Amino acid sequence: LPAARSALAEAPAAAALDGAMDTVLTVRSADASDRFLGSAFLWGEEAEVAVTNAHVVGEAEEVRLVDRHGNEETGLVIARDTLRDVAVISVGPGKDGKPRRGLVPAADPAGLGLEVFALGAPLGVEFTLTEGLISAEARQVDIAVPILMLQHDAAVNPGSSGGPLVDAAGRLVGMNSQIADGSRMFVGIAYAIPAGDLDRIVTGLIEETLAPFPQLGLKARPVDRKVGAMLGLDPQGLLVDGTVKGGLAEAA
């Protein structure tokens, strides 16, 4: 009986994850080189766009998108925010002429210990799913970008960027964007843009209402105990290492 109940419980989760995988796309260059760039996913109940990281598409105006069934299309990069690292790509309808179903952000923020699944193409291995837990709810990875990232330990690697992070019900939790600083390959810590922030950014990019984030033009780091001891300061506050010529920080 316990085994049977477990199998019944796992069946809906497997179906939900399989459905989520149907929204995942691999991103390739739209030129003759056909370079693999990363991952993306269809966005919204009736998807007219796909979402990925800005660093995945780079400066490309068009990219080639491929789904798990081998269907290909060329998508136009209609908006990007390099600082927040989000890009939006136009997509066409399904074979029936109707919009395809994409992922919808989960209603509640992801909590500590939530089981999550990373979908994408790590190292170019297409349509891969890995499992992990939310290990921290709010990490500011880049001091110049005020997005508090989700930290998790579902395995991601180069190529996973732009792929979705979902829960067991297939609801969008975030978008995988970074591996821990200083690491080229997965070392147990990955970062995803939370679905709530992503919803706000994508909507703003599409509607052209997203205010550009000011470039402060400075390099800074927290004054920890080691830095404080070297400078004769208490371990608190922020140390500005330098400013960019002509930037806001230099003017201030």
178 near 56, Cβ under 8 Å?
Answer: no
Kindly list the catalytic residues: 55, 85, 161
Integer-rounded Cα Rg, in Å, for the chain is 20
User: Which residues neighbour 118 within 8 Å (Cβ) at sequence distance 6 or greater?
Assistant: 129, 130, 131, 132, 152, 154, 155, 156, 160, 163, 164, 165, 176, 190
CA distances from 24 to 40, 78, 83, 194, 211 (A): 6, 19, 23, 17, 28
Distance (Å, whole) CA 105 – CA 135: 19
169 near 154, Cβ under 8 Å?
Answer: no
121 near 80, Cβ under 8 Å?
Answer: no
Provide DSSP, 209-222: -PPPPP---EEEEE
